Amino acid sequence: MASRAELRPVSRLDLSLDGVALTAQLVDIPSVSGQEAPLADAIEQALRELPHLTVHRDGNAVVARTELGRPERVVLAGHIDTVPIADNVPSRRQGDLLYGCGTSDMKSGVAVQLRLAATVPTPNRDVTYVFYDCEEVEAARNGLGRLARLHPEWLEADFAVLLEPTDAAVEGGCQGTLRVDVITAGRRAHSARSWLGRNAIHAAARVLAILDAYQPRRVVIDGLEYREGLNAVRVAGGVAGNVIPDLCTVTVNYRFAPDRTEEEAFAHVKELFSGYDVVLTDSAPGAPPGLDKPAAAAFVRAIGKPAQPKYGWTDVARFAQLGVPAVNYGPGDPNLAHTRDEHVRVAAIAECEERMRAWLTA
């Protein structure tokens, strides 16, 4: 059987480059979700050349570990896939900005991981570097989720940092999210004889009124205030231009603080829409920040900026399910992720690497 290298040519990564140049190299190896193999090959090859790391691979996920016997282990994790390319590969530098698909989300963060893996051979904590696939697509394909199912021992740690884009600020934990369909029923009739029917779209107005009057919670956890949100994100109904509709669906997205479980969040939404048919269509748990843990507190001190809450869902929630407190910290700007002119500040890449190096060597 042919080896992986014989089946696919491998682009080499130069880990001696600075973080900006290495980010450009990573961007220039296209890795749209499901097509990460060439980049995973390059990362694996580069890490296997470092004698202080033990390297594992599962599919297109690569895991490298120090084995120094330190009393504490931390995980640095990042996904290597991107959304579809929008005429923004190869990378290009313009002044203090580096442009290209994935520069912000999150190949600049991956570059920081690789630089630390290469240049900090004896960190003060044992480190597990995780590079995984298929984060930008449906959860069932997520590479970190696959590792958690198949190789949970690879992810065991006291603390984790996900190098998602945060514009070089620490964002603790993440919100949970769920979506439900709130369904209103009516009776179909000819629109010329509307009194013979009952309009399900009109009935949806009461659902929208509940949402409009809703006062979302603000919850403080580990000193961080998480603001919840409950919003209609889609309304679907109607049969034809001359028919009174007998069905209407309002899709509602609930972003909930990490002090609630998925079950508690769903129960809250069902209670709010009591009397309606409420169907759960998607759900993911939140993650508490865990900033009271020594490793997390030391990390925040090393970064030198106050931690902020994470508004949105990230894979820190997967670490929380494994009992590992986690934060988000990376050089990219989340507001630029997935955009055609996606870019990252050069200074942010250097800042993240410098501060994380200080944390791992102090």
User: How far, in Å, CA of 359 to CA of 362, rounded?
Assistant: 6
Q: Which of 284, 309, 326 is the last residue of a domain?
A: 284
The one catalytic residue in 36, 126, 135, 164 is 135
Q: 73 and 200: one domain?
A: no
pLDDT reading at 9 higher than 60: no
Residues 163 and 185 in one domain: no
User: Catalytic: which of 36, 81, 126, 333?
Assistant: 81
- Read off the pLDDT of residues 86-119 as tens digits, 9 standing for 90 and up: 999 999 999 999 999 999 999 999 999 999 999 9
Q: What is the pLDDT of residue 2?
A: 32
Same domain, 169 and 217: no
What are the tens digits of pLDDT across the range 238-284?
A: 999 999 999 999 999 999 999 999 999 999 999 999 999 999 999 98
Is residue 151 located within the same domain as residue 196? no
Q: What is the CATH number of the domain that holds 114?
A: 3.40.630.10
CATH number of the CATH domain containing 247: 3.30.70.360
Q: How far apart are CA 310 and CA 221, in angstroms?
A: 12
pLDDT at 5 over 60: no
295-321 pLDDT, tens digit each: 888 899 999 999 999 988 899 999 999
The amino acid at 126 = D
Q: What is the pLDDT of residue 7?
A: 35
148 and 183 inside one domain? no
Task: Specify whether 165 is located in the same domain as 269.
Answer: no
CA–CA distance from 60 to each of 188, 205, 237, 345 (Å)? 52, 47, 42, 28
Is 80 exceeded by the pLDDT of residue 356?
A: yes
C-alpha 356/C-alpha 3 separation (Å) is 36
Q: Tell me which H or E stretch contains 130.
A: strand 126-132
Q: What is the pLDDT of residue 6?
A: 37
Question: What is the reported pTM?
Answer: 0.85
Q: Could you say which of 235, 256, 284 is where a domain stops?
A: 284
| Single-letter residue type at 157 | A
Q: Examine the domain organization and report whether 11 and 108 are in the same domain.
A: yes
Mean pLDDT of 191-199: 96
Give the pLDDT confidence score for residue 118 in this predicted structure: 98
Are 240 and 340 within one domain?
no
Identify the band that residue 139 occupies on the pLDDT scale cut at 50, 70 and 90.
confident
Helix (H, G, I), strand (E, B) or coil at 23: helix
Asked if 171 is an active-site residue, the reply is no
135 is catalytic: yes
Q: Which domain holds residue 190?
A: 176-284
Write out the two tokens for 228. 């919840």
Q: Based on the fold, state whether residues 51 and 109 are members of the same structural domain.
A: yes
Instruction: Please tell me what DSSP assigns to residue 287.
Output: B
277 with 314, same domain: the answer is no
Residue where one domain finishes, among candidates 259, 284, 309: 284
| Whether the Cβ atoms of residue 331 and residue 96 lie closer than 8 Å to each other | no
221 and 318 assigned to the same domain: no
Between the alpha carbon of residue 56 and those of residues 48, 49, 66, 327, the distances in Å are: 9, 13, 12, 24
Rg (C-alpha) for the chain, rounded Å, is: 23
Please count the structural domains in the chain. Answer: 2
Same domain, 123 and 161: yes
pLDDT 10s digits, 34-75: 999 999 999 999 999 999 999 999 999 999 999 999 999 999
